Structure 1
Amino acid sequence: MTHPAALEALRAAIAEPPIEYRPELRWWLAEGLHTDATIRREIAAAHRLGFGGMEFLAMPEENIDEARYGWGSEEWTHDSHTIVAETTARGMSFSFTSGTNWSNANLPTITPDDPAASQELDVEYEPVRERRVGLLPRIDLGADRGEGGLPGSRVTPKRQHLVAVVAAAVTDSGPTASGLSTPASDGAATLAGADGAAGTTTVQALTPVIDVGTLTDLTPLVTGDEGAEALDWSAPDARDWRLFVFWMHGTGQTASPSASVNYTVNYLDRDGVDAVIDYWREVVLTDALKADIARNPRAQMYMDSLELNTWGEGGMFWGRCVAEEFRARRGYDITPWLPLLVRSAPLMAVSTRYRFEPDAAHAIEVAKVRHDYVATLTDLYIEHMLQPFADFLHEQGIALRAEISYGLPFELTRPGVAVDGIETESLEFGSQIDAYRLMAGPAHLLGKQYSSETGATTRNHMLPHRFYDQIINTQLAAGITKTVLHGWSSPAGAEGSTEWPGHEGMLPMFSERFDTRQPAAEFYPLWNRAVGRVQQVLRRGRPRIDVGILRTDHFTDNSSGMMFYDGERRIPDEVAYGRMWMRNRQNHWWRDLGMQDAGWGYEFFDGSLLLRDDVVFADGVVQPDGPGYQALIVYQEALDADVAARLLEWARAGLRVLIVNGASELKRLETGEYFYYGAAAARTPGLDGRDAELAATMAALKVLPSVAEVDEPARAVEALRALGLIGYHEFAVPNQNVLAYERIDGDLTHVYVYHFLYETGQDTDVELRLPGVGTAYQLDQWSGRFHELGAARREEIGADRSEVTVVPLRLAPGEAAVITLDSSAGYSLGESATAPAIVAELSDWDITVESWDAGEAQLIEEDRGLGYATREVLPTTAVTRLRANGTALAPWKDLDGVGPEVSGVGEYRTTVRLDVVPDGRLVLDLGDVCGGLGSVSINGGAPIGFDTSAPRVDVTGLLRTGSNDVVVRVSSSLSNRLKARGYYERIPDVSALLSGLPYRPHHVPVRDYGLTGPVRLLVEN
């Protein structure tokens, strides 16, 4: 087949996808224990297996000396330099890893009492009846408050600084005011039950209520020097008054492993980032390291989840600049409002519960103040941490990639302006498409690389590779085009704590490993090449997204993927991911599925991003050189007045705007809480006095011809179509099984389509409608070839009779495809599609299984002349070949001669005889491979990989008349072997631990492995 020039150039580009498009790895090192030989061996192996880069960090390792091997030690520094040099020499990327729980984000040069260390605002209470005289109550800094929900320990600070004293009349017991919402909407929405129906639910039935009119700032009345602060004050009446005494002190949070104590830095005051920059400039970035960085065009700093803890009763992150910055940015003093900001927030910001609520008459006002506080924190995180850190890194030739805002009460999308790459992760979002859409907006709007930490679950070594393929497919459908696998660890580790299948790194109960211990590793080169091809295609040109949804949330539930319980019953990850939520057709944030079923693309972002100078409306769309949103949706009750004014300005120039009342969205999945919004854009989010201005703007907006308003999300598609919106791509008939994502690449249009109901669906037929006329092709990601889709046809749609190309597809559950329309090729009228014909059924097999088990461990020693020797244990794998007694296909556990204890790689051999090689496209359909990676080889040729959900291999041109040898190899997980060895009996279920439940091991069934067929040779026309 001769392809047009544009498609031929693409085919040549992806024939061997460059290394920058391949999946990368998170590497959990055993602190600085690894020998140089181990480091070089692991990087060489990762490169040989086709991975594109290594993101490395130090994990705690038992039975070693942290003073010798922890972060900051000579050994860790030496290993870091070795990794940088070895990856750079191979053209791989490397990433330093930072984040609150990784030591290199924290510092040994500070103490909890330094301004550069993380600070919190704590509170002491004192009841007041009539008059109180004397010293103010202080925080007991050494009090035992139990263990926090996050890793790391706490070192007690020594100093506390008085910030404010506020008095208020308090009702000691009473309901939360009118059931008004807490964090996720920043107030004023009604909290709904799990079904999202309208109604009210009290979050805390007996939360004390403050009479807001009595809030009194007594700070100017405080006397005495620091350390002896006193107050003489009399309550004005006989009600129950309470004194709130606010002190700032260090959180004392530390990170390990490190050679010395490393303290969490301050993310709000400039002191924190300045201390980090100074340390890296003076200690870490040696001349030799800088030289290696200069040779690597993909050197990165990766900022992981912001797993910051507060310790005290106040629960607020603070800094010495916060009050001043709040006044400058919000126009009023935060001090009198502090009692209504006091909170508890275990583990993640979404768990925030305010300890006091306002009287009903002031509920909206207090919601606005709470919004202003967290909006200010977001500002400071961007301006005082991310931007100066990025500027410093850029000077060193290092890009900044970050899981922005993760875990803290920061808005999720605004910080995207300060980083080079925006990262999400599959674990905390449970691989939900709506969650990935949350940060797709800023990534596409701002032109940032969108990537994901992929593969972390609580079921390591248990699940088939297909499970992880489905995570990647979901992410690609949301516009994520860089996969960072979570993760890799060397099998070698410390003596006394390392056993087969190897050193765990990220704890044996947490996250998968995509390294050489996996039987699937044999097939990683094929798989990485295939994923790399798709990622390369989907990074070309620019995205095309139909609808942008304005959404502000400082308390996003990014722990929705971690807790899987039905009462006390643990729901396995594979069941939750494969059968619940989106796979049960239930999205979390934009809950109506009409746009999704139409095939339209949509994503979320904070409306303030529209105010940036580099975000424009032109040619009828927002950001024409980016996502090109054809319409914007407003659905939350709060909308910034300046954003509304921008919408009005653009709507007058033709922008489509849809105002949606009556929407609901997820607040917190673990507790089944949702929010219901009455009228969209009914108020401003903050206490800015601009509600009337907003109302006037919205009134002017609603009368414009390009604006519509509906009273339920289910009418959104109808309303947008009435405004003239036709999707960049859409389905000719709504389809409930398929997601789609588009890129415009000159004369080429690429659409990624994915049948996401991989456990709950059947084969689906979908007709993809693409604007314009051209020839449609489908990419075979395993070979790099494009084959023409002859059944595509031309149609005219709409009042203007626009021409479109309609591409019919059939997708199996979990199957994904890349469709490319070449508009430079003109329209090729193909023949009508016919069902594939069966040429032969392959049913008589010679079956051998290479059974993996523990082999003899090796001892590795290294003496670098420093006065000691480093020792590692390297477990090895023993492989035993088991011949099945029979020729029929069945799972290994049911094969005589193999059995239920076996994990490894199965090899299946047969011969197919052809009297004539049929014309047309020949496909070997393997039927079912139990989700395992594998390969097919025909007549001794190079192995070809296959999709774990739709294992079909294009064998056109590989068959001959007469006898043809066919070899199929299929891998398994290690689950059955490890179950037989009792491995899982010793590993606690981490989800139970995080949920505060008693110790329990995983329940691990015996799993089906291998090729089960039916295997058929098909001819397609």
Structure 2
Amino acid sequence: MFQKKHLFLLLFLVGILSAQETYKKETTTFQPTIESSRPWVYWYWMKSAYSKVGITADLEAMKQAGIGGAFLMTIKGPDNPPLIDPPVLQLSPEFWDLVHWAFTEADRLGVKIAFHPADGFAVAGGPWITPEMSMQKVVWADTIVNGNSIKTLKLEVPKHYKDYYKDIATFAIPIKENFTTSDKNHPKITSTLANFDASFLSNGKKEGEFKLYEKGWVEYEFDKPFLCKSIQIETKGNNYQAHRLIVEVSDDGMNFKSLGRLTTPRQGWQDTDAFYTHSIVPTKAKYFRFIYDPEGTEPGAEDLDPAKWNQGLKVAKIYLSNEALIDNYQGKSGAIWRLSPQTSAEKISNSDCVESSKMINVSEFVDKNGVLNWKEPSAGNWRIIRFGHTSTGHENATGGAGKGLEVDKFNTEAIRFQLDHWFGEMLRIAGPELASKVVKILHMDSWECGSQNWSSVFRDEFKNRRGYDIVDYLPVMAGIPIDNIETSEKVLYDVRKTISELVADNFFGTLADIAKKANVKFSSENVAPTMMSDGLLHFKYVDYPSGEFWLKSPTHDKPNDMLDAISGGHIYGKDIIQAEAFTELRMDWDEHPGNLKTLADRNYALGINRFFYHVFVHNPWIDRKPGMTLDGIGTFFQRDQTWWKPGKAFFDYCQRVQFQLQKGKPVTDLAVFIGEDLPSRSVLPDRLLPFIPNVFGEARIESEKARLANEGQPSARMPKEVKYSKNSTDLSEWINAMNGYQYDSFNSDVFLNTAKVVNGKVVFADGTSYGALLFPGSHKMAPNKMISLAVAKKILDLVKEGATVFIDENPTIQPGIHSKEDEKEWRKVVNEIWNISNENSRNIGKGRLIKLPYLGTDFNEIGIQQDVFFPKLNRADSEKIAWTHRKSETEDIYFISNQKEGKRQFEASFRVIGKTPEWYNPVTDKTSALPNWKEENGRTIVPVSLVENESGFVIFKEKSKAVAKENQNPSFEIAQTLDENWELQFDPAFHGPKEPIKIDRLFDWSTSENDSIKYYSGTASYTKEFKWKGKRKDKILLNLGTIANLAEVSINGKDCGTLWTFPYQLDISDALKKGKNTIRIKITNTWANRLMGDEKLPKEERLTWTTAPFRLEGNPLLKAGLLGPVTIIKEKKEKK
């Protein structure tokens, strides 16, 4: 089934390679171009409603706006009734004809295309994926029998997907007593809710949900004392509070003893594929009470996603069991993305573990019908556990007619089969010549298909990578400890390690190979926090690592995604790091470039150097505005956006910023180890604070203490329908948090395989270097004090070669199963490194070990000065300046962003000497001189002046290449005011007044008594004649004061530019003439006011039509128009 398809694809790819220059990895320094730095868009084709005329209009709009390319993804199937009848179903000949049309038009216009591995935006599946080719998970069923009744025993089939199930192995384990659970013992259940029947909590035949919004409890009363060793908790959705209950026990129902609080695993947003198992210290009691107390609630984060929502306690089941089960075995087996500390021997003693010598693999005695014919059991009770695997059942859920099961992410043959049916089919439809000109990226988008922990290839892969057979320890996948808890945890670690390697090597490695053979680049977003993974590892195979950030959507924002992509890109030496930009949970229709800028700049400062905007939805209609949307999700970056055409000024700004930020390599002083716990992610700044507290500063230490205390669990709303935990992680609160230092996170793979010491710095892949490495101790995403022998030896080697390394607490765990010889060597190396208990630092060879926490306020004592700091600003003001630094062969490029809506004048001290600084303004695309700079103590100090939200570049060039330029901050004086007597022309096609309006003063459209002005959305033109008496050689600017929201200015028919951000002024020197002049200002606002006005009208009288739900009820109208004051200002001449 696979071979024939693959032969065709191979021949096709050979055709492509003959039509294009053969792909080679660049060995020279990457040089950015206008094309490489253009922003792209997500181009979603929605609900099988597509048209050729709409496709052409979309692509022409992209071209006119300077968009470099489009990530073409088809989303969902047709509505009922369909938006276009008949709908164009994915996979149909009509569909592929439209894809070919899109490519033909893209080729005509010079717009490039990225294509996805599957229908939809997540992840890689289709109707051709059979259950055996799909993502797999381990399942099991057990039967308790007497040794005399095992012959011809029909084994229960484990719960499985539809009719698909395959055996792995069956084990017979002798047991002394039967296991029992609370649902078999029928405890009396009472709670704070006096009249509420909560019996369903421990009854598998009843459904219900127990809810508390204030402190309260639920209590189980057994007829006789019940021995509890583990607790199973189920919820009907994600609920953080259900997994932090306080457990108390009593023998009389009056006097209770606390067993402490359940430990909440770190968990992602897609957390409903498995229930939770909590291991507790074996306790026998008649009463068990579970207390909900919201105090101490941790605020939300991406690795504790349910805590973002202040939703109280919602729990469906609480089962108590006398079976000792490994804590969080669901996460530890890789069935789901969860992380927790290893289970202690206090909770599971050796006596509660299955002795491997007594566990018998009876698989050979099970026939194809699942009947066990084992003739050799001894007397007594036996537990027969039948292990198998089935499909996880996950699909590419956002697809339409191309929707089906998600492909097995470990099976390279199945992965190629999947890609051949979608990406490969697209290439065949396009043909080699057209594809080679248009298709430039294979893009893997949002991972929304959960995790998997089995595959037809898993057993062999595990054996090859770990050196032993996982089947010998298979019961640990069901939470059953074998021999001792330490061994069991080590085996489960090896399972997670293998999964993490397979998703990177087999899935992403295969996609990278397919992309390479198709001569396209490979782009991908994150795997975490849904698939068990090392969150950085897959980026080694990706050409364009990609994060995502959201607009006004704190519950869905992805700061960890951003840092994963940025760090992954940096440590693996990637030149372009992308971001899905401005995704929005609920569109407010008030979005415009001016209120997007600070968020854009903040993410540029993090390390992103190319945006793809979310979202440009294909609008199949020419006459419907705003038209098609992603059901109101995402910022409206498309041709029927009111400001799309003048918005090109913003897109040009992004292109210019991205061009500069694609130069050279990032300059980052510190690299922080993410640890060897799995799953893993980059280290968020709040997790780093305890290890270098004074670098973050006293104010930050105190504010973070208050944030984490989360007293009263304060909530906020954004968007207005969504309540969230106000103290959730917010990267906007961590701008320049280390006061002049930046850091990346790194994993064990890049450390072991690429790290070397060059001139005292640690250099990773492709030349990215760091002045020091930090190995933090345990923290939320690294709860276990573990380090591998390989990493420990590498630390020691690098220090001896000259590296500076910070280390924290002494590791106590070597992860995974290892030989006794390895364990002995591990202890020796660990003791050699961590033998600094009585001193803060120690030299070894050429390098230095420094003990954490490090209490210095900076890193000067280890020879690392601040890269940039602002000596005359206090710490709080400094932390409102976002920055990043890149270095090319000839330039040091610093991006500086004022994140305050206020003017700033300050000195910036840069760690650069011997070069001349210049100011590059990416809004105006002009370079100017920076006067009065000086060199002092090996640094260059530059005066900088920024208006509200302004950003730009301080670029240091070789002195011999510097040329005289304009002053970055000249002084101006008002020469003339133009506030009165304008002619205002609205567009009747947008339901504005038909005739021009004479106005004697500027006003806010939304305050008009004329509804056609009050609710107007679109573009209106202001025209005025005036006399100018100034001199031609003067530098003259036009300042518009306040505008809502974009302004296109022309004087005497000459285009002077577009204004969209502070200070709303531009140079008109070349357009002015002495005497009479005519000025025209075209102002464009957003769709919000028209949508609110249309809501008051009958449908047949409305201008607007959109698939976005209307949600602006109760919102005030937005300011709109040219508000002024409009002034002409001229540069003051310095007196000599």
Q: Does residue 279 of structure 2 align to residue 182 of structure 1?
A: no
Q: Which residue does the alignment assign to 1:501?
A: 626
* Of 436, 447, 454, the match for 1:318: 454
TM-score when normalising by structure 2: 0.69
**What residue number does 2:502 align with?**
380
Partner in structure 1 of residue 6 of structure 2 = none
Residue type matched to 1:403 in 2? E
Deviation, structure 1 residue 110:
3.0
Against the structure 1 CA distance between its residues 464 and 957, is the aligned structure 2 distance closer, same or farther, given a 3 Å change threshold?
Answer: same
CA 306–904 in structure 1, closer or farther in 2 if over 3 Å, else same: same
Following superposition, the deviation at residue 488 of structure 1 comes to: 1.2
Name stretches of at least 5 consecutive residues in structure 2 with no aligned partner.
1-30, 180-227, 233-246, 248-258, 269-275, 279-294, 308-312, 326-347, 685-711, 779-785, 1100-1109
**Does 472-481 or 81-90 show the bigger shift?**
81-90
User: Is the 8 Å Cα contact of residues 431 and 577 (structure 1) preserved in structure 2?
Assistant: no
**Alignment partner of 1:745 is 2:888:** yes
Bigger Cα displacement from structure 2, 895-904 vs 176-185: 176-185
In the alignment, the residues of structure 2 paired with residue 166 and residue 923 of structure 1 have an alpha-carbon distance, to the nearest angstrom, of 86
Structure 1 residues 743 and 884 mapped into 2: Cα distance closer, same or farther (>3 Å)? farther
* Code of the aligned partner of 1:940: G
Cross-structure match for 1:306: 447
SS in 2 for 1:88: helix
Within-5 A mapping of 1:223-262:
223-230=365-372, 245-255=386-396, 257-259=399-401, 262=404
Where does residue 663 of structure 2 map in the other structure? 540
Check whether the contact 2:792–2:830 (CA below 8 A) recurs between aligned residues: no
In 2: Cα distance, 1:831 partner to 1:782 partner: 16
- Whether contact under 8 Å (2:806, 2:852) holds in the other structure is no
**In structure 2, what is the equivalent of residue 860 of structure 1?**
none
Residue 464 in 1 paired to residue 585 in 2?
no
Deviations 1:977-1014 (A, max 9, x none): 2233339999xxxxxxxxxxxx9987644323344344
Partner of 1:942: 1055
Give, in whole Å, the separation in 1 of the partners of 2:900 and 2:369.
Answer: 63
Whole-angstrom distance in 2 between the partners of 1:24 and 1:423: 13
The answer for the alignment partner of 1:642 in structure 2 is 790
1:792 aligns with 2:910: no
Matched position secondary structure for 1:20: coil
Equivalent position of 1:703 in the other structure: 842
- 525-534 vs 324-333, greater mean Cα deviation: 324-333
**How far did 1:52 drift?**
0.8
Aligned counterparts of 1:510 and 1:432: Cα–Cα separation in 2 = 16
- Counterpart in 2 of 1:1019? 1131
**Computing the radius of gyration over CA atoms, which structure comes out larger, 1 or 2?**
2
Aligned to 1:77: 96
Change (3 A) 1:129 1:554: same
Distance 1:438 1:338 in 2: 32
More moved, 57-66 vs 776-785: 57-66
Summarize the alignment of residues 102-501 of structure 1 with structure 2, pairs less than 5 Å apart.
102=121, 105-112=124-131, 114=132, 116-124=133-141, 133=150, 134-141=153-160, 156-163=162-169, 165=171, 171-173=229-231, 182-183=265-266, 194=298, 209-210=324-325, 211=348, 213=350, 214-216=352-354, 218=359, 220-222=361-363, 223-230=365-372, 245-255=386-396, 257-259=399-401, 262-279=404-421, 283-286=425-428, 288-296=430-438, 299-309=440-450, 316-335=452-471, 369-406=491-528, 407-427=530-550, 435-448=561-574, 449-460=576-587, 461-492=589-620, 500-501=625-626
Q: Is 1:31–1:71's contact at 8 Å kept on the other side of the alignment?
A: no
**Equivalent AA in structure 2 for residue 374 of structure 1:** R
Amino acid at match of 2:1019: V
Question: In structure 2, do the counterparts of structure 1 residues 192 and 916 end up closer, same or farther at CA, with 3 Å as the change threshold?
Answer: same
In structure 1, how many angstroms separate the alpha carbons of the residues matched to 2:468 and 2:924?
A: 63
Which residue type is aligned with residue 28 of structure 1?
A: Y
| Amino acid in the other structure paired with 1:622 | V
Q: Deviations over 1:295-317 (max 9, x none)?
A: 34x6111111121147xxxxx53
Deviation at 1:401, TM superposition (A): 0.7
| Change in 2 beyond 3 A, CA 1:821/1:511 | same
Q: Is the 8 A contact 2:349 2:485 kept in 1?
A: no
For residue 517 of structure 1, the aligned residue among 618, 623, 640 is 640
**Aligned: 1:23 with 2:39:** yes
The TM-score with structure 1 as length reference comes to 0.76
Contact conserved, 1:207 with 1:357, CA < 8 A, in 2? no
The question of 1:571 aligning with 2:718 is answered yes
Q: Which of these residues, 994, 1008, 1018, is aligned with residue 904 of structure 1?
A: 1018
- Change in 2 beyond 3 A, CA 1:542/1:329: same
Answer whether contact 1:885 1:895 (CA < 8 A) is retained.
no
CA contact (8 A) 2:661 2:886 kept: yes
Q: Deviations over 1:3-35 (max 9, x none)?
A: xxxxxxxxxx99xx7333211111111466533
Provide, for residues 836-869 of structure 1, a one-character-per-residue CA deviation record: whole Å limited to 9, x for no partner: 343246461456777679x7xxxxxxxxxxxxxx
Shift of 1:738: 1.2
Q: In structure 1, how many angstroms separate the alpha carbons of the residues matched to 2:969 and 2:444?
A: 51
TM-fit CA distance, 1:162: 4.0
Aligned equivalent of 1:774, options 915, 933, 938: 915
| Alignment coverage as a number of residue pairs | 888
Question: Structure 2 CA distance, aligned partners of 1:578 and 1:835?
Answer: 45
Q: Deviations over 1:948-991 (max 9, x none)?
A: 254343445554555554443332221222233339999xxxxx
CA contact (8 A) 1:644 1:697 kept: no
Matched AA of 1:654? G
**Counterpart Cα distance in 2 of 1:425 and 1:444:** 16
Find the residue that maps to 2:393 and give its secondary structure.
coil
Structure 1 residue 280: Cα displacement = 5.6
Q: What displacement does 1:529 show? A: 2.2
Q: 1:58 is matched with which residue: 71, 74, 77?
A: 74
Distance 1:318 1:229 in 2: 24
Q: CA deviation at 1:636?
A: 4.1
User: In the TM superposition, what is the alpha-carbon distance from 1:609 to its structure 2 partner?
Assistant: 0.8
In structure 2, distance between residues paired with 1:1001 and 1:40 = 32
Q: Structure 1's 530 and 161: CA in aligned 2 closer, same or farther, altered over 3 A?
A: same
User: Contact conserved, 2:481 with 2:488, CA < 8 A, in 1?
Assistant: yes
- State the SS of the aligned residue for 1:110: coil
- Between the aligned partners of 1:120 and 1:926, the Cα distance in structure 2 is 62
- Equivalent position amino acid for 2:361 in 1: P
Cα deviation for residue 184 of structure 1 reads 6.5
**Aligned mates of 2:812, 2:514 — CA distance in 1:** 42
Give the 3 Å change call, closer, same or farther, for CA 943–822 of structure 1 in structure 2: same
- What is the DSSP-based 3-state SS (H/G/I as helix, E as strand, rest coil) of the residue aligned with 1:247? strand
Matched, 1:39 2:55: yes
**Sequence identity percentage:** 17
**Per-residue displacement from partner, 1:141-193 (whole Å, max 9, x unpaired)?**
47xxxxxxxxxxxxx343343455586977244969975563479999xx985
Note the residue ranges of structure 1 that are not aligned, 5 or more in a row: 1-12, 143-155, 311-315, 343-355, 588-592, 662-678, 856-876, 987-998
Change (3 A) 1:781 1:774: same
In structure 1, the residue corresponding to 2:126 is in which secondary structure?
coil
Aligned in 2, Cα 1:880/1:117: closer, same or farther, shift over 3 Å?
farther
Change (3 A) 1:640 1:101: farther
Q: Distance in 1 between matches of 2:868 and 2:428?
A: 51
Q: Aligned equivalents of 2:1093 and 2:121: distance in 1?
A: 35
For residues 534 and 937 of structure 1, the distance between their equivalents in structure 2, rounded to whole angstroms, comes to 25
Deviations 1:180-210 (A, max 9, x none): 563479999xx9853799xx99999977652
**Are 2:799 and 1:651 aligned?**
yes
Q: How far, CA to CA, are the matches of 1:882 and 1:573 in structure 2? A: 38
Note the 1:769-918 alignment, pairs <5 A.
769-795=910-936, 797=937, 802=938, 804-825=939-960, 836-840=971-975, 842=977, 844-845=979-980, 880=993, 886-895=999-1008, 897=1010, 900-909=1014-1023, 915-917=1029-1031
Cα distance in 1 for partners of 2:545, 2:155 equals 45
Q: CA RMSD in A?
A: 4.7
- The match for 2:747 among 606, 610, 625 is 606
Counterpart secondary structure, 2:751? helix
How far apart, CA to CA, are the structure 1 residues paired with 2:93 and 2:405? Answer: 19
* Partner SS, residue 453 of structure 2: strand
